[in-house]
């Protein structure tokens, strides 16, 4: 690249500033201009819920470097030698002449910027459902720092107010805790049967439902919002749903985002099957002089190679580096994503990647699944916390198609191991042989993720035969006759149990001496608290000639239906 080439970057939040900064590092003589319609630049959008909650006291903290320097227009100009035009809208682009028409929002002044390379980092826009009342005062969307300020500062003291969150995706989940920390009475409405419906399978989402309810959140599932109602002054007062009215002082609409493709459409750039901008491995659009990255583009799914729209701040920053490299003559391809996400809800950590079981089956995969609940470090340590791992594995290739991990313990490092395995295209059995860091304060001797991989191997080889809790419940609802074998101690059964006439309690230690109580012509489903003993029971019974034995994966911990719990 010639030293005086001109690069115009449209968008100044995540991908855009990353492109600009990386270009100036690679080619300090390049002329780089950022055009941003808002006032603020390079802020951590994923930190907005923590600003609303009060954990982040000043919005400038979301724009600061680790050393505390705020990344404002002066910073970009003086430190990075990057020209920033904020409060400026990129109204149009003439790709033939390679000119951007930039209009100052407050004055209407128009500036023409010529470029050698153009970068679209224009992000996404909130989806606005066809619901009357979205324009009422007190109804909010959350995407920018200004949006968060309207909720936290301009709404006054939030304590005691009634907050309604429409949508149980990642933003809705995180803002639920933020509202609660501000002392609000919170109701969450989701039209699907579970929260995070596109990210988690039902038996994993169940634990999020329990955490919400345990923290005083009113959760309304399978419910449709019909209208948002206001008073004579235009202030929101309630939300009307398919089952009634819910009092509301503040409403957050969090039903997803759509890629911002206005400029791309006007320029005739090719869009992908997801509706986002189509790019190649170097983030080039159908016009070789124009790049695009961040929430406005689609990516390749590393699991199945298909197009995926998975907007994420981390991905946007990676895009920025790839784009800058290619503009400067360094070919660094972007391989794709697997749809990884992680969030925190009160005392629960939630992560996922790849395909859910439902998605994998809908795409024609023949799969086995694993549910592994276990403490995240040596069980004898007081701060050990439970995590539940779910693997979705293709039978034919033994590759991990997806994973979900929830629990109060450390889910992140186990998810990262899984993501790396998926990206490498390796089978699940490889995980079992990884030399992971071990000491009792960090993991069990056989890390949770290694145990989950071993469970998958047992199933692939026909050693560990099991039903998921959902499959067991379906058999119950059909009225099927089987023995539901609880191999825990009687005391454990008193503390927590499933009440069902099929239940037979035989502790594992007495199983071999009690075989006369178990007919060989009837299906037997052993289980315990986490089904470690359930699996042991299955192996014992198979060894004794029983042919209809499958344990229940995940045990009582993963049972998402009614159970009796005594203190």
> Could you report the per-residue pLDDT of 314-356, keeping only the tens digit for each?
999 999 999 999 999 999 999 999 999 999 999 999 999 999 9
What is the Cα–Cα distance from 251 to 239, expressed in whole angstroms? 8
Comparison of pLDDT for 154 and 38, the residue scoring more: 38
528 as an active site residue: the answer is: no
C-alpha–C-alpha distance, residues 248 and 201, integer Å? 30
Q: What is the pLDDT of residues 392-433, one digit of tens each?
A: 999 999 999 999 999 999 999 999 999 999 999 999 999 999
pLDDT at position 3 is: 56
Dihedral-angle region of residue 17 (phi above 0 means left; psi in -120 to 50 means alpha; beta otherwise): alpha
Q: What number is the average pLDDT over the span 83-89?
A: 93
Query: From its phi and psi, is residue 48 left (phi > 0), alpha (psi between -120 and 50) or beta?
Result: alpha
Residue ranges and CATH numbers for the domains of the chain are: 6-123+258-327 (3.50.50.60), 139-255 (3.50.50.60), 347-460 (3.30.390.30), 466-565 (3.40.250.10)
HSE (side-chain half, CA atoms, 13 Å) at 236: 28
- Least confident among 50-59, 219-228, 513-522: 50-59
Output the pLDDT for position 561: 93
pLDDT digits (tens, 9 = 90+) for 30-65: 999 999 998 777 777 788 888 888 888 777 778 777
The DSSP secondary-structure symbol of 137 reads B
Distance in angstroms (rounded) separating the CA atoms of residues 323 and 499:
59
Q: Is 542 helix (H, G, I), strand (E, B) or coil?
A: helix
The string of pLDDT tens digits covering residues 67-85 is 777 777 888 888 888 999 9
| Active-site option among 15, 46, 296, 493 | 46
CA distance linking residue 555 with residue 537, whole number of Å = 13
Q: What is the pLDDT of residue 1?
A: 45
Mean pLDDT of the chain: 94
Give the rounded percent of residues in the chain with a pLDDT score beyond 90.
87
Question: What span, in angstroms and rounded, lies between the C-alpha atoms of 222 and 302?
Answer: 32
Residue percentage of the chain with pLDDT more than 70:
99
Can you give the pTM of this predicted structure? 0.94
pLDDT exceeds cutoff 80 at 155: no
For 255-296, the pLDDT digits (tens) are 999 999 999 999 999 999 999 999 999 999 999 999 999 999
């Amino acid at each position: 690249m010639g030293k005086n080439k001109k690069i115009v970057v449209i968008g100044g939040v995540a991908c855009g500033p990353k492109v600009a900064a990386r270009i100036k590092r690679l080619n300090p003589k390049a002329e780089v201009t950022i055009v941003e319609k808002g006032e603020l630049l390079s802020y951590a959008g994923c930190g907005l819920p923590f600003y609303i909650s009060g954990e982040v006291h000043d919005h400038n903290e979301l724009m600061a470097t680790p050393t505390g320097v705020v990344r404002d227009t002066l910073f970009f100009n003086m430190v990075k030698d990057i020209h920033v035009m904020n409060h400026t809208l990129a109204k149009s682009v003439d790709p033939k002449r390679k000119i951007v028409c930039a209009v100052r929002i407050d004055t209407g002044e128009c500036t023409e910027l010529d470029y050698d390379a153009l970068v679209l980092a224009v992000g996404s826009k909130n989806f606005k459902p066809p619901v009357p009342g979205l324009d009422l005062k007190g109804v909010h969307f959350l995407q920018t720092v200004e949006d968060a300020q309207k909720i936290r500062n301009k709404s006054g003291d939030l304590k005691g107010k009634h907050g309604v969150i429409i949508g149980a995706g990642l933003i809705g989940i995180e803002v639920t805790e933020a509202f609660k920390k501000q002392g609000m009475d919170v109701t969450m409405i989701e039209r699907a049967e579970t929260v995070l419906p596109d990210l988690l399978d039902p038996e994993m989402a169940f634990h999020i439902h329990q955490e919400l309810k345990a923290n005083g959140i009113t959760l309304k599932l399978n419910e449709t919002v019909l209208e948002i109602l206001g008073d004579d002054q235009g202030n929101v007062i309630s939300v009307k749903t398919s089952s009634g009215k819910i009092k509301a002082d503040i409403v957050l609409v969090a039903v997803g985002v759509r890629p911002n493709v206005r400029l791309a459409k006007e320029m005739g750039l090719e869009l992908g099957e997801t509706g986002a901008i189509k790019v190649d491995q170097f983030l080039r659009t159908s016009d070789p002089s124009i790049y695009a990255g961040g929430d406005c583009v689609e990516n390749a799914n590393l699991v199945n190679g298909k197009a995926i729209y998975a907007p994420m701040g981390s991905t946007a920053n990676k895009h920025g580096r790839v784009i800058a490299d290619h503009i400067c003559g360094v070919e660094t391809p972007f391989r794709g994503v697997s749809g990884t996400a992680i969030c925190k809800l009160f005392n629960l950590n939630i992560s996922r990647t790849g395909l859910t079981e439902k998605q994998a089956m809908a795409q024609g995969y023949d799969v086995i699944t694993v549910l592994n609940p276990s403490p995240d470090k040596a069980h004898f340590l007081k701060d050990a916390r439970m995590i539940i791992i779910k693997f979705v594995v293709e039978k034919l290739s033994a590759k991990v198609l997806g994973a979900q991990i929830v629990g109060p313990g450390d889910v992140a490092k186990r998810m990262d191991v899984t993501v790396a395995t998926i990206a490498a295209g390796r089978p699940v059995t490889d995980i079992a042989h990884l030399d992971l860091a071990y000491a009792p304060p960090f993991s069990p001797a056989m890390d949770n993720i290694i145990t989950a991989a071993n469970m998958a191997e047992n199933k692939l080889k026909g050693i560990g035969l099991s039903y998921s809790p959902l499959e067991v419940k379906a058999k119950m609802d059909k009225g099927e006759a089987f023995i539901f074998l609880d191999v825990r101690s009687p005391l454990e059964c008193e503390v927590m149990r499933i009440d069902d006439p099929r239940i037979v309690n035989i502790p594992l230690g007495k199983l071999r001496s009690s075989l006369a109580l178990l007919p060989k012509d009837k299906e037997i489903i052993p289980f315990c608290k986490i089904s470690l003993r359930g699996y042991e029971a299955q192996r014992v019974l198979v060894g004794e000639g029983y042919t209809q034995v499958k344990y229940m994966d995940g045990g009582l911990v993963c049972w998402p239906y009614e159970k009796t719990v005594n203190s």
